[in-house]
């Protein structure tokens, strides 16, 4: 039963976002006509996945210890996995996985610093801080909580991947990272709607709690429009090939999700097709973008 609880807490379906973001970083290296060291690329992927696993499992453990897991109404996309309320004896095992995953991430980061120098250090430090403070501290600061997911999966993963594989930062990686930055922020933003009441009861203060559903919907709309503007602009100024416009094909899913947010608000968790569309656009847009760039 402990093993089952651990596997649930890792939340494997959620991990798909990590290889998509790493692939987007790799695509920039290919676009720049640099060779991709497959061994290093695998190590990057391992470090990124272990960081994501650490976030998931530490969040799962801390939400269980705070009592949040016991009062949250779960959906496929929000409210935690529900692993520990049914298997409380697995709590320490889940915590161990979270800490061990963080240690693996740090070890891989130290290797990259040794191999490529301290220029990668700021990305590593910010990443560790995000992992270690997300549940207990970042969730109590609405603006930081709003943008933290996009910083981690957008800027840190994409620019970090590109730097490690090329040995220097490229401004294109930061510009491309803006696309998943906005999409991933929206992914977490919408998933917070069903948890407003339960999150408030344990002291969280994320954006929907602090500013309400209406303002959150406005932010979602702006963040959904930003990737369309960015990709179109990058193509027009020849930063990206014209084929990258194909990455806009999934974007109507974001506005479908927004329509559900406007219609149902905090009750959107009862209508998971909207949350599913939000997940789909977050994965498909950077994936198609990566493929067209390569």
DSSP-derived secondary structure letter, 74: -
pLDDT of residue 87: 77
CA dist 170 → 32, 247, 293 (Å): 9, 21, 15
- Tell me how many degrees the CA angle 256-260-208 measures, rounded to the nearest 5: 115
Candidates 192, 174, 187, 6; CA nearest to 84 is: 6
Let me know how long the chain is.
Answer: 294
Candidates 244, 48, 280; CA nearest to 162 is: 48
How far is the C-alpha of 14 from the C-alpha of 55, rounded, in Å? 11
What's this model's pTM, rounded to 2 decimal places? 0.94
How far is the C-alpha of 86 from the C-alpha of 15, rounded, in Å? 23
Report the 10 Å Cβ neighbour count for 45.
17
pLDDT of residue 75: 65
Give the H/E segment covering residue 26: helix 17-31
pLDDT of residue 157: 96
DSSP-derived secondary structure letter, 151: I
pLDDT of residue 201: 85
pLDDT of residue 28: 96
The two counts, helices (H) then strands (E), for the chain are 14, 0
How far is the C-alpha of 6 from the C-alpha of 130, rounded, in Å? 22
CB 162 within 8 Å of CB 228: no
**Can you give the pLDDT of all 294 residues of the chain as single tens digits?**
677 878 888 888 899 999 999 999 999 999 999 999 999 999 999 999 999 999 999 988 888 887 776 667 666 666 566 677 777 788 898 899 999 999 999 999 999 999 999 999 999 999 999 999 988 899 999 999 999 999 999 999 999 999 999 999 999 999 999 999 999 999 999 999 998 988 888 888 999 999 999 999 999 999 999 999 999 999 999 999 999 999 999 999 999 999 999 999 999 999 999 999 999 999 999 999 999 999
How far is the C-alpha of 80 from the C-alpha of 196, rounded, in Å? 13
Q: What is the three-class DSSP state of 143?
A: helix
DSSP-derived secondary structure letter, 34: -
């Amino acid at each position: 039963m402990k093993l089952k609880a651990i596997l649930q807490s890792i939340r494997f379906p959620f991990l798909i976002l990590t290889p998509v973001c790493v692939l987007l970083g790799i695509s920039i290296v290919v676009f720049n006509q640099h060779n991709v060291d497959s061994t290093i690329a695998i190590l990057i992927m391992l470090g990124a996945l272990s960081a994501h696993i650490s976030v998931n499992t530490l969040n799962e453990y801390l939400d269980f210890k705070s009592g949040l897991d016991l009062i949250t109404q779960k959906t496929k996309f929000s409210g935690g996995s529900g692993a520990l309320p049914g298997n409380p004896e697995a709590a320490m095992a889940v915590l161990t996985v979270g800490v061990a995953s963080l240690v693996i991430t740090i070890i891989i980061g130290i290797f990259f610093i040794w191999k490529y120098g301290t220029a990668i250090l700021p990305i590593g430090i910010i990443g560790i801080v995000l992992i270690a403070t997300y549940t207990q501290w970042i969730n109590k600061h609405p603006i930081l909580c709003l943008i933290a997911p996009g910083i981690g999966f957008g800027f840190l993963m994409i620019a970090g991947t590109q730097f490690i594989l090329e040995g220097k930062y490229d401004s294109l990686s930061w510009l491309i990272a803006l696309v998943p930055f906005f999409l991933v922020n929206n992914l977490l933003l919408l998933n917070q709607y069903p948890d407003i009441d339960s999150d408030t009861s344990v002291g969280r203060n994320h954006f929907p709690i602090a500013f309400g559903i209406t303002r959150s919907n406005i932010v979602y709309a702006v963040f959904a429009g930003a990737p369309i503007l960015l990709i179109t602009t990058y193509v027009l100024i020849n930063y990206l090939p014209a084929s990258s416009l194909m990455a806009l094909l999934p974007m109507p899913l974001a506005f479908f999700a927004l329509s559900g947010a406007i219609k149902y608000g905090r009750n959107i968790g009862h209508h998971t097709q909207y949350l599913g569309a939000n997940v789909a656009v977050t994965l498909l847009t950077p994936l198609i973008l990566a493929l067209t760039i390569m």
